[in-house]
Amino acid sequence: MVEGLPPTGEDLYWAQLEAGLRADIARCDGAAGLCLLDARGGRSIEINADVEFGTASSIKIPVLLTLLRRVERGELSLDARQTLGAAEQVGGSGVLQTFADRVELSVRDLARLMIRYSDNTATNACIDLAGGIAAVNHFLDGLGLQRTRLRRKMIDWEAAARGDENVSTPRQMATLMKRFALDGEVLGATARQVAIDVLCLPKDSAFSVLARPDMAVADKPGGLEGVKCDAGYFFQARRPYALAIMTSYGDEDANEWLRAAARRIAAARAVLDLTAAGGRRLPPEQLLP
C-alpha cells in the first residue's frame, strides 16, 4: 500500500491474507510467528517475525550453505570421501546411526542425507566439513543474520541442558532463503544451483508437499519436542516468495497448524501468480513476466 494513495485490490487481498493468518496464529496451541517475503514486489507479511524460536533441523540450511561456500572457494570438494563409524553415530533422525559397519560417503551424499532425511550423523559431519560451529556463525554474521545461531551439534544433550539451542527468527530465516535464492553474493551460480537441487529434494514437510510441476520448493523443516518450523523458497514463475513459519511451546497439533498456514499462503500466492493488474486472471501464456 502506497502512503497517501487509496488502497488497490491487491492491497486488500494482502490484508485479507494477513488477517486470516493472524486468526490462525491466535488459534495455534503455543507460540507462533511467520514471515512471508515477496521476492519481486517487495511486499511482506510479518507476524511475530522478530521473536526468537528454536530452529530444530531448519538450522541445517545455513550448515549446507556454509559448506558450499567452502566448496566454491576450492577448500573442499563435493566428491571428497568421508569415513564414518560408530564413534560418529548419533541418534534422532537419519539412517546412518543404524549402520553396523564403517561407511564411506562423498561430501555431496552427506549433504543430501542431511537435508532430505535430516540425518543427524551426516549433519554433524557436515558441520565439521563446513569448518565447525564458529564457521557457520561467521557465515551468518556476514549476511547480517546475527540472531540465527548454531550453538550445538545434533543430539548434544549436555549443550541442550545448558540452554544452548539452535535459534533464529521467522524474519531471519525467510531473509536467508530469499537472499540465497536471489543474491549472487551469498553463493555463486554453480554452488547456488547445488544448494537448490539439494533443498528441493522431496521430503515430508509442510512446504515441500506444496511443490507443483511448475513450482519447485527449496526448504528444510525442523521438529523437536514442542518446536515445529519450516523455512523455504517457492520458485513461482511470476511471484516467487520466501517463507518461514516457526512455533514453540506447542504439541503435535502444531505441525498440522503449520501445514494449514502454509497451504493458506500457497493458495493465495498461486492466485497472485496468475493475476494481472486489476485482479483479472489470465492464462499463463498471456501474463507478462
**Domains of the chain (ranges, CATH numbers):** 9-152+160-286 (3.40.710.10)
Q: How many C-beta atoms surround the C-beta of residue 253 within 10 A?
A: 12
Mean pLDDT lowest among 124-133, 264-273, 278-287: 278-287
Q: How many C-beta atoms surround the C-beta of residue 33 within 10 A?
A: 23
What does the buried/exposed string (b/e) look like for 224-235 if buried means 16 or more CB atoms within 10 Å of the residue's CB?
A: bebbbbbbbbbb
pLDDT at 170: 98
d(CA 132, CA 181): 24
d(CA 243, CA 172): 10
Question: pLDDT for 242-251, tens place per residue?
Answer: 999 999 998 7
**Average pLDDT, stretch 218-229?**
94
Contacts of residue 64, Cβ cutoff 8 Å, sequence gap at least 6 = 111, 114, 115, 126, 195, 198, 199, 220
Query: Between β-strands 81-84 and 53-54, what pairing exists: parallel, antiparallel or unpaired?
Result: unpaired
Note the Cα 282 to chain centre separation in Å: 31
Q: Are 30 and 247 in contact (CB under 8 A)?
A: yes
The DSSP bridge partners found for residue 34 are 47, 245
DSSP per-residue codes, 38-103: ETTT--EEEESTTS-EE-GGGGHHHHHHHHHHHHHTTS--TT-EEEE-GGG---SS-SGGG-SS-E
**What Rg, from alpha-carbon coordinates, does the chain have?**
19
Residue with the bigger pLDDT between 73 and 10: it is 73
Q: Which residue has the cell 532430505?
A: 116
Please provide residue 195's backbone torsions phi and psi, each rounded to the nearest 5 degrees: -60, -45
Proportion of the chain above pLDDT 70, given as a percent = 96
pLDDT at 88: 86
Proportion of the chain above pLDDT 90, given as a percent = 68
Give pTM, 2 decimals.
0.93
Strands, sheet with 227-235, edge to edge from the N-terminal-most edge strand: 44-47, 31-38, 241-248, 227-235, 216-224
Mean pLDDT lowest among 3-17, 59-73, 215-229: 3-17
pLDDT at 89: 83
Handedness of CA 76, 80, 83, 84 (dihedral sign): positive
pLDDT at 176: 97
Contacts of residue 234, Cβ cutoff 8 Å, sequence gap at least 6 = 207, 210, 215, 217, 240, 241, 242, 243, 266, 269
pLDDT at 158 over 90: no
